[in-house]
Structures are given as C-alpha cells and as structure tokens.
Structure 1
Amino acid sequence: MSQPPKILPAAALALAAVLAPLGVQADEVAVAVAANFTAPMQEIARLFEQDTGHKARLSFGATGKFYAQIANGAPFGILLAADDTTPEKIGREGLGDAATRFTYAIGQLVLWSKQPGYVDPEGQVLRKSDWRHLAMANPRLAPYGLAAMQTLEKLGLAEQVKGRVVQGENIGQTYQFAASGNAELGFVALSQVTERGQLREGSAWVVPAAMHQPIRQDAIVLKPGQGNPAAGALMQYLRGPKARAVIQSYGYSF
C-alpha cells in the first residue's frame, strides 16, 4: 500500500501561492527615471526584459521630486537621475549604495520650437521680441532647467526674458508646453525632439556644452533595491552595448 504524500496537494498549492509572489518580486525592480530619459529607458526596459527575463517597472518625473519621495520611504530600487549631485547625496545620506553610482549618460540641452525655421542655428531668436513664451523646467527641481537658466545668464538674457518664462515641473511637462504651441520656444532635452540622430519636427539650436554645467546623469541602487537580482542586472545592463547604443541614438554621450 503506497504511503500518503508528505505534503497534501492543497497544502502544496497554498505554499506555491505564498512563494510565487516572492519569485516575481525578486525578478522585478521599481525604477525612478528622470523625465528626459523617458523614451530611451522605455526601449531599454523592453530589451532588458527580453534578454534577462527581469522586469523594470518605470516611473518618470523630476529628479528633485524623486529625491523627496525616496527620502520619505518610496520603494524605488533604482534611481536614474537627471544629475549627478542627487545620487551622490543619496549615497552620502545612506538612502542608497554609493558604491553602485555611475554616470549612465551625459545630457544635451536644446532650444526648440515646433515651428520649422523658427529657431536659428545660433539661438539668436531669444533676443527677438516677437515671441510670447519660453518654456523651461523649474531650475530648483530639474537639472535641465538649471542648465537652461545658466544658458540665459551666460547670454545675458535672464532678466530680459524673465516675464515670458513658463516653468514646467519637469522636462516632460516643459516639452508639452512647447509641443502644444502654448510656448513658441522651449529649452528641452535633445532626446525629446530627435530620433536616431534626426530632428523629428520643428527647429532647434543645440546649446553649446560650455554654456552650462555638464548634465551628468547618474544611476544608483537605492536601499529597497539592495540584494534585488533585477536591480543588479539592470545596472549591469545599462553599461552594456545594447543599452549604450540606444542611449547614444537619443543624443546622449558618456
């Protein structure tokens, strides 16, 4: 006479139900992504899942707001910031693993208009008076906004255009102001208006890098992501050839 199983089928099913979510959690990481990096990260996340089986759950927004959420216990596993100072601060404050921090991209600022021929190759349009609104991200929250302000100061135009500036909470909202036509001009990220190195529409002035501080964008593993296999795999993947090819195709350097 055969012996009964040591674990009854119902008990085995219950055990599997308990263990299954743990397996899913181990293979998934929540990633806070700077708004300027939306398009390339969506592409990278798809490739990452195809190649590794791990999943990156993406949230997009302003780096400054992400820092506030992380400091208040938001369960992000990785931060892909729009600057290098926020990840450095996170590591210093023990909110993340400082040893994992690295520069995944260097961003490029552009002055862009949806209208073809509106922005000249030197950005002299800023000195004209026939436009009403200039969109830029909040320089206190978004590194691209800070770079835009530094550019205006370098040009000696910060006070002159002050009354016509419309601030977005992040670079994503800033792009929407310009793309909708509510602002004739906008300081946005090159990645938002180009595809495979070509301007998708409108006209643009690529701001020389010397006009603002380098927009070094750093990644760091946060406390909730420490020990998560998906977090480690994604940080490694971002350094790999497939991810780097995508990043470069959107106008970033390293």
Structure 2
Amino acid sequence: METVSIACAPNLSGIIEEIIDNFEDKSVSFELTIGENCNVYYQEILKGKKYDIFLSADEKSADDLVSLNLASTSEVYAKGKLCLWSFENKIPEISTAKIALPDPNIAPYGKAAFEYLENTKLMDLVKNNLLFGKSPFEVSRLVLEHIAQVAFLPVSFVKSTLKDNNFKILENSYFPVIQKCVLLSKDNKKAQEFFDFLINSKRSKQILNSFGF
C-alpha cells in the first residue's frame, strides 16, 4: 500500500480527514500531521523534512516553496473566512471585551484580524485587551478557560473542531485569506492524484464549502 504524507494547517482539522475519506482510491494510506501553525511546517520543509503535500493557511509560504524549487506547483484550494466566536450565548461587544486572536506575526488569520480591527477603527479601543495564541487551538482555549470573552478564529475551525454555531462571520474589512497547497513530492503518483482530487474534484469543493470556505 502506497503512503501519502500530508502536513496540514490547523484550521483544516476535521476537514482534511473527510476529504481523505472521500478519495476514491482506497489503496492509499495517509500520514496526516496537523500542527500549531503553518510556519512550523514551512521551517521543517526548509530544513529537509519530507512531506508529499503541504496544505497551508496562506499563499506566501506555499509560493515561497515553489520559488525555492522545493515544490513543483502551488494551487489555491480554499478561501477562508474570519469570524468572532464566543463561548457565551451572545457574542460580546468587542470594544470592552478581552479578545483572543492568533499571533499576526505567524498566523494569516491573526493578520486578517489585525486588518479588521484597524480598518474598522477599533484597534485603539481594544489594543490593551488583546491576547495572542500560536494556533486556533490555543486561541480557543483562552475563551474556554474564561481568560478571554471572544476570539477571532477561522470559520472552518469553529465549525469543524469546536463544532459550534455561536459565531459571527466577518465578511469585510480584511483581505481574504487565500489558502494554497503545494505538491512537494516529484515521484509519488498517488500524492499527485490526491492533490488533483483536492484541487479539482466537485466532492472536495463541496466538503470545503460545508465548513465555511
């Protein structure tokens, strides 16, 4: 049985597994690694760690790997949306709340959250109430442990991992989060087939759309 190894952005937790389950070739086994954030994988790949496919939460890390000839191609597989999520029944007014968000220096959704706060003129009001996490998992824990009252998170993560509908989608005031994946292996035909399935198949797109992409 051939194996395809995939490094995966954390906001795809619970989603990539469903896409794999719908891949028609059942003779393939998958090694799936979901880490804290995309920069971890990017640095690992630069240092020589072998994956067949890398699903990033941004464009830059994927495109950089192609530019460095470490990947043969990069393709957009999803456009992510940002939301406000709270463990409380009602989303609190963020101008007075403790707010958790991904670190904008390493996380594309954290960067999007910063853009939203700056473009909506809220940054000056909330800048002293911001709490940062390295990943969506860490950000959500800040809310679950009542350290923060509300969080900026990917819609996909709230729907797939937190399995909660208590969120408000933010459609405007930030640049769309374009997520790209790269094919790192040049000789794994099954990796190429799965890459094509992820990018081009109707079923893959249906699954991604169902989780807010």
CA contact (8 A) 1:112 1:205 kept: yes
Q: How far off is 1:200 after superposition?
A: 4.6
> CA–CA distance in 1 between the matches of 2:168 and 2:62?
29
- Distance apart, 1:241 and its partner CA: 1.8
Q: 2:27 aligns with which of 36, 53, 78?
A: 53
Equivalences for residues 39-78 of structure 1 within 5 A:
39-48=14-23, 51-61=25-35, 62-78=37-53
Q: Give the direction of change, closer, same or farther, for the CA distance of 1:66–1:159 in structure 2 (3 Å limit).
A: farther
User: How many pairs were matched up?
Assistant: 210
Is the 8 Å Cα contact of residues 138 and 168 (structure 1) preserved in structure 2? yes
Match for 2:77 among 94, 101, 104? 104
- Tell me the amino acid that sits aligned with residue 233 of structure 1: E
Query: If you compute each CA radius of gyration, which structure gives the higher value, 1 or 2?
Result: 1
Conserved? CA contact 2:82–2:152, under 8 Å: yes
Q: Identify unmatched segments of 5+ residues in structure 2.
A: none
Amino acid aligned to 1:246: I
Distance in 1 between the 2:212 and 2:110 partners? 18
Shift of 1:53: 2.0
**TM-score, scaled to structure 2:** 0.91
Matches within 5 A, 1:2-41: 24=1, 27-41=2-16
Give TM-score scaled by structure 1 length.
0.77
1:1-254 correspondence to structure 2 within 5 Å: 24=1, 27-48=2-23, 51-61=25-35, 62-97=37-72, 100-119=73-92, 125-127=93-95, 129=96, 131=97, 133-194=98-159, 200-201=163-164, 203-208=166-171, 210-222=172-184, 225-238=185-198, 239-252=200-213
Distance 1:172 1:230 in 2: 31
Deviation per CA, 1:94-150, whole angstroms, max 9, x where unpaired?
1111xx31110100100110111234xxxxx112x2x3x211111111111110111
Question: Partner of 1:90: helix, strand, or coil?
Answer: helix
Residue 126 of structure 1 aligns to a residue in which SS? coil
CA gap 1:220/1:202 in 2 versus in 1, 3 angstroms:
closer
C-alpha distance in 2 between matches for 1:150 and 1:188: 14
Contact preservation (8 Å) 2:86, 2:167: yes
Q: Is the 8 A contact 2:84 2:91 kept in 1?
A: no
Note the C-alpha offset of 1:202: 6.1
Q: CA RMSD in A?
A: 1.8
CA distance in 2: counterparts of 1:52 and 1:101, whole angstroms:
25
Structure 1: tracts of 5 or more residues without a match: 1-23, 120-124
